[in-house]
A and B are shown apart, each in its own frame.
Chain A
């Protein structure tokens, strides 16, 4: 009893002693061993997790290397229908057949676009990448960038379609691959954005009772439906809704469906951000005598869009990935082209290699969008 009290007393006096006389807390050691002890082997449980996960990861990595490199076939004799894929068949299941990629690369990327004209979709893809790159450069922001975005659809779609400047016309039903994915996603989002802002503003407007209800019904019903069914509707209903003889191009119908779909989702992000703007901002702008349009454009929206940024980037990513769903209505985008590339008997069964490649392309674009979003966010916070 007394001993315990004495121990407690010592403990209290030790903790109350001036800082200088206490032993310094053990500084986290430096060097790889100290790091490993802290982050890998901190306790028995942690060590077990490290060993089990490490072994699993190493095994999976080795199996992948074995499949993708050691047993893989990188080239086969012959091309096209005369390609001799016997070497690939021999290692099927144990090794990759990367020969399918150079053979089918142009089909996956450009679909059934006329072979001799495929420089056009290639230039279009480069154009899109340049457009995205220009958008990330802060110095270009302003009217010039808006002009660039307005000109881009005309130039890029014109280059795909041809019929001008001596280029032969290529109808949209043979467009395919990556350009179709980029067109659907980019122009769908670009067209949806102003629409989404309008919907969000209407839903915040107190006086527009009827229009508010209409916009709410629209947004809620679109958000309730899977995009696959919206695409089906666009492909089945649009011909029914239009007068006889007036036919809307299949790609344009999908583009329309994506635009309307994206507008509903984007408007929700923007509406949430509008709600987060303090009432004082509205009142201050009103007190300055600014008109509704100027209040909205110069005070409210710039703040709202900055708040909405993370959620907007997520929606952009979601829509970009969802363009792959045009597979179900038979538009030959990157995903569908990848799936169809291995239908030919000689190359049947090498879907894993193609899906990995297609996945890498999607990953590159999505990771790029996400990175740009994070940079914008960081820039916004730094201000």
Chain B
């Protein structure tokens, strides 16, 4: 016979005791660590609290909006600029990597041997080297680009030199990013509302375009922006006019896009393979051409398997933007790191850092969840 099993109440009591013991131990360790920290901070004459955030930072940031002035702007502003840089870099990378990755994923599935082999080779190599290596390699190659006098002319009037990328701009003053954001949000909202009210695709797109234009005009009137079209021209040793982004930003964008495209490609490939063979056959038997089969039947079905891992990859991109610290692109982690060495306010800065990344993580996670629900809901109907 087995030993009599303990009653349910006995098990509950046992696990309650175990939990209390573990908690008491953890609380004790935490209290000890806090006491140590307070003592150490006192020894170093560091005052705790978030008051330092309002003091002028003296922290120079290369990729900062025109309103940012290190001698006057506070630490809070510096951190905000860093956070915006993180978002801009990750957003641009996510768009580019998703586009390139989808192309690569489809190429891997292609019946064309040349396309599938080259794509497989690319994905196989990139997935087996560290992202940091790709970043450092890209940066070392970009540093070899000549000075502005020997800049590489890109289509659209942009120039890439060892001082970064200069391109034509339309406005002067701070807040161009807000303008773009306002237009994008308005367009997305208008599109959703119109579609929900039963508008056709063409009508919804027109409405979205009108809403974007309206929002942009409103934002333009409210923001300290001036209309000043300007094209970069080489004068002396550097370019005059236009807008610019640093070489570090370009290197991060190129490197992270190249790296994460391989991951997106794997996701897309798995998603397409998850679509049952019968769907292909049925679509082909309707007489659809192969590109239309892909666009109208297979990709929409594959999207269900693609969305969760794809949004995970996007989250990975946001986190990988912290690699900027290795080549001097001043995103959030890099700004926090500099601020930390200037003030010694490690706990406060770590809290700020965690909150910022948690906010981004929750936003992407929430959006992913809702998108997924919608896809599954549509399938059920």
Contacts and interface: CB of A to CB of B under 8 A. Distances in A.
Interface of A: 38-40, 42, 46, 49-50, 53-54, 57, 93, 205, 207-211, 214, 221, 223-229, 232-233, 236-237, 239-244, 289, 317, 321-322, 324-325, 327-328, 335, 339, 351-352, 355, 358-359, 362-363, 366-367, 370
A288 to B, nearest CB: 9
A317 B126 CA distance: 12
B130 A352 contact: no
B5 to A, nearest CB: 8
B114 A49 contact: yes
B140 A233 contact: no
Given A57-B118, A226-B322, A228-B323, A40 B333 contact: no
Contact of A355 (B112, B124, B137, B346): B137
Given A208-B19, A352-B137, A362-B128, A42 B112 contact: yes
Nearest to A351: B140
A232 B357 contact: no
25 contacts: A40-B114, A49-B115, A50-B115, A57-B118, A208-B15, A208-B19, A210-B19, A221-B354, A221-B358, A224-B354, A224-B357, A225-B354, A227-B319, A228-B322, A233-B350, A237-B350, A240-B347, A241-B36, A242-B36, A325-B130, A325-B323, A327-B132, A339-B136, A352-B137, A366-B127
A85 B111 CA distance: 48
Interface string B348-364: 00100110011001000
Given A208-B19, A225-B357, A232-B337, A325 B112 contact: no
B247 to A, nearest CB: 15
A322 B133 CA distance: 10
Contacts of A50: 112-115
Nearest to A210: B19
A94 B325 CA distance: 30
Interface residues of B, number: 58
Given A42-B112, A57-B118, A211 B22 contact: yes
B109 to A, nearest CB: 13
A243 B33 CA distance: 8
Interface of B: 2, 5, 11-12, 15-16, 18-19, 22-23, 26, 33, 36-37, 39-41, 43, 110-115, 118, 124-125, 127-133, 136-137, 140-141, 144, 319-323, 325-326, 333, 336-337, 340, 346-347, 350, 353-354, 357-358, 361
Contact of A207 (B15, B33, B337): B15
B128 A363 contact: yes
Contact of B129 (A38, A53, A226, A366): A366
B24 to A, nearest CB: 11
A205 B11 CA distance: 12
